[in-house]
Amino acid sequence: MVLIFPYFFTSPKFKAIALYPFIILRDKSLTKDMVLLNHEKIHLRQQLELLIIPFYILYILEYCYRLIQYKNTFEAYRNISFEREAYQNESNFSYLNSRKFGCSWKYIYKK
């Protein structure tokens, strides 16, 4: 389910967020951005696969680790394994049909 909630976003850098079972968008025009929606759907699958709460815990812990590693917020964010998977596959609209269970883990050490 897609929700439009512009006041949720404090930074103009963020367009959307996946909070199972919702995709929250900054504005209505983004409902036409199929790549963005596919990216967020990948996150929904990751969240479901990890039983939701553990996903958020791992996401935050890995972000903290990457922040120490890269000393840059953008680099830390882009190198979170869950983001690597989503960015690498966001343009592949059949990805979720062929995605294997647990494949997020292979992105942890991958550059």
The per-residue DSSP string of 22-86 comes to EEEESSGGGGG-HHHHHHHHHHHHHHHHTTSHHHHHHHHHHHHHHHHHHS-HHHHHHTSHHHHHH
Name the token pair of 87. Answer: 């960015």
pLDDT in tens, 37-75: 999 999 999 999 999 999 999 999 999 999 999 999 999
In a domain, 103, yes or no: yes
Is residue 11, in this structure, part of any structural domain at all? no
Over residues 66-108, the pLDDT tens digits come to 999 999 999 999 999 999 999 999 999 999 999 998 887 788 7
Residue 7 lies in a domain: no
φ, ψ of residue 77 in degrees (nearest 5): -60, -50
Number of domains comprising the chain: 1
Residue 10 lies in a domain: no
> For the chain, how many residues are written?
111
Task: Say if 55 falls within a structural domain.
Answer: yes
Inform me whether the pLDDT recorded for 33 exceeds 80: yes
Residue 26 maps to a domain: no
Residue numbers of the domain that contains 70: 33-107
**Is residue 38 a part of any domain in this protein?**
yes
pTM of the predicted protein model: 0.91
